[in-house]
Each structure stands twice: as structure tokens, then as C-alpha cells.
Amino acid sequence: MSYPQTKQNSIRVYKKRARYDYETVHGIFEDSYVVHVAFQRPGDGQLENQPMVSAMGYYLEEPCLYIHGNAASMLAKGTKEEAALPVCVTASHVDGIIFTYTPNGHALNYRSAVIHGNAQLVKDADEKDYALKQMFDQMLPGRWDNSAPVDPNAVKHVHVFRVTIESASAKVRTGMGDLGTPVPGVFAGSIPYFGSLGEPVAATPDMEIPSHISDLVETRSRKWKEYAEKVSHD
């Protein structure tokens, strides 16, 4: 399935890099530990852009984006004053650095995605639990079921916002492209760029590292590395 192309989400520059399918758009957000949420600040109308934690969700069957926030945040204030607060949420990853023979052609391999929608405070307790589980399991698969139960009183002080998606798109650059006319003695090519998870550090020396954590370190780091290396020369 794909998001319909509209005036709001259509890619206008380098259209061949545009992606509108669910798999690509959602995958970029699912690979992101932090997204950026832009909106007009309530009261004075100034623009606000906040880094926040998010997770894709399907609680209401249609895809939506859940955002984790503090009760004192501007987004919380905005969703209290408005029935639905228009937001623009972005996620991006750098996958490589491209070196052409002359500096003006240098570029990055990347994946980026943008969601336009309306944010609302999640008030239903079951949906809030679902959203929090999605967030923690996206960060670390299986974490929700392999950790201590959440204190209901603590959850009361956490806000979760549901972004109903109006439109979305992604843009992906891969390969080296045209590096220009070769110049003797000048390097041209690419360097893969990827995130890597380090060795887990336990809270106490005698604490055993559970398999769902050690497996994540291995599989997620390998996934990012393999992708960056693959697209460096596609």
C-alpha cells in the first residue's frame, strides 16, 4: 500500500528518489530512535521543533504515529487547546558520504521520511498501553514483556500523542552517481556510514545480559552496516 500523492507530500526535487509506499515510509520511522516534531506553538504562533521518541502503530487499524511526551511540553499544551494540532514529523538516516572529484558534487546517501498529520492526546487507557508497548518494543524488541511492570501512577504523568496521518512520503538516495571527470591523484568514491550498538553495560557486575538484548546488538548493527555498504555502490 502507498500514500496518495498530494500537493502536500509530493517530492518535487529528484523525483526518482521519491517513495510513497508504507514499507519504506514506516521503515524509516521504525529505524529512528528520535524524530523531530514541528508545529505552531499555542498562544504566540511561533514555530516549534522538538526531538521526541515515536513508534508506528495500528491500534485503530489505519497506520498512525505515536509520540512520547511530557505533560509540561508545548505539544501537550497545544493538544489541550486544540481538538487536533497540525504537525509535521520527520525522520532521517545518513547511509554514506559520496566524494566526487570536485567538492561541489559531494553528497550523502540517505533515507528521510516526512509525515503530515494531526496530533491528539491519547486518553483511552488501553490505547495508551498499546502505544507505550509499541515504543519500547520498537526501541528494543521484547523489552515490554522482559521488564518490570509499569507503575500505573507513573504512567499518569506520561503523555502519548497519536498523529493521524494525512499524508506521508520518503526520499532515498543510493549509489555513487556521477562522480565527474577523473582527476589524477584525487580520490572519488564513497564511505558507508551507519550506526552501531556497543556492548551492553549491566547495572551490576553479576548481572547476566539477556539474549533479547545481546541479539538486538548483533542483528540491528549488522542490518545497518549491510544496508550502508550495499547502497554505497548500487
Q: What CATH number should be reported for the domain holding residue 131?
A: 2.30.110.10
Do 97 and 108 contact (CB within 8 A), yes or no? yes
The predicted model scores a pTM of: 0.90
Residues written for the chain: 234
- pLDDT score recorded for residue 99: 96
Give 78-87 pLDDT, tens digit per residue.
677 667 889 9
Which parts of the chain have pLDDT scores under 50?
none
Predicted pLDDT of residue 141: 83
Q: What pLDDT score was predicted for residue 9?
A: 95
On whether residue 7 sits in a domain, the answer given is no
Expressed as residue numbers, the domain containing 198 is 15-231
Max distance between CA atoms of the chain, in angstroms, equals 67
Residue 177 has a CB neighbour count (10 Å cut-off) of: 13
pLDDT value at position 74?
A: 72
pLDDT given for residue 140 in this prediction = 83
150 within some domain: yes
Radius of gyration of the chain (CA): 20
9: Cβ contacts below 8 Å, ≥ 6 apart: 3, 20, 114, 116, 167, 168, 169
Chain centre to alpha carbon of residue 194: 15
In a domain, 212, yes or no: yes
Distances (CA, A) of 196 to 33, 112, 220, 222: 13, 19, 8, 8
Q: What is the pLDDT of residue 81?
A: 62
The C-alpha cell at 91 is: 525522520
Assess if residue 10 is contained within a domain: no
Domain count across the chain:
1
pLDDT tens for 162-216 read: 999 999 999 999 999 999 999 999 999 999 999 889 999 999 999 999 888 888 8
Contacts of 219 (CB under 8 A, 6+ apart): none
Q: What is the amino acid identity at position 91?
A: A
Q: Is residue 2 part of a domain?
A: no
Burial of 169 (0-12, 13-18, 19+ CB in 10 A): buried
